[in-house]
Amino acid sequence: MQKQVLMTAAFSGALAVGLGAFGAHGLKPLLTDYQISIWEKGIQYQFYHTIVLLVLAFYPKISVKSSFLRAVWFFIAGIILFSGSLYFLAIKDVIGLENARFIGILTPIGGIAFILGWMSIFIGAMRERI
């Protein structure tokens, strides 16, 4: 299980770097400052939670039924929904979907997934025997 979490963290980290560079160099001439700030917020949250995934990958008590594995799944969902929706909202005008505001509902759902991930770590820590 740890190997899969490590591979997921590595992929998410590489993707965040690539998307960050794409935003800074490829999208900057096409987007407003506000749209760039939305893109950068998505990158920021993806990086934060990728680092947590990396830490969890090395936690020895990740198992199929653990709260720590639940946290991994919540963080993956949060990255996809929260960061992914911010990326889409930042570029929707450029790709011709100006009226696709409905995608904005995914952002708070992703935020809730992040919160549930953190709470899963808290619950896992409470259950730990020292």
Domain parsing of the chain, residue ranges: 2-127
pLDDT digits (tens, 9 = 90+) for 43-55: 999 999 999 999 9
Residue 61, pLDDT above cutoff 90: no
Rounded to whole angstroms, what are the CA distances from 84 to 29, 70, 87, 93, 103?
21, 20, 5, 16, 10
Buried b (16+ CB within 10 A) or exposed e, 33-64: eebbebbebbbebbbbbbebbbebbebeebee
Give me the half-sphere count of Cα atoms (radius 13 Å) on the Cβ side of residue 72. Answer: 26
Query: What pTM was computed for the model?
Result: 0.90
| CA gap 55, 34 in Å, rounded | 32
Residue 100, pLDDT above cutoff 90: no
Residue 14, pLDDT above cutoff 90: yes
pLDDT digits (tens, 9 = 90+) for 20-41: 999 989 888 899 999 999 999 9
Contacting residues for 12 by C-beta, under 8 A, at least 6 apart = 46, 49, 50, 53, 76, 79
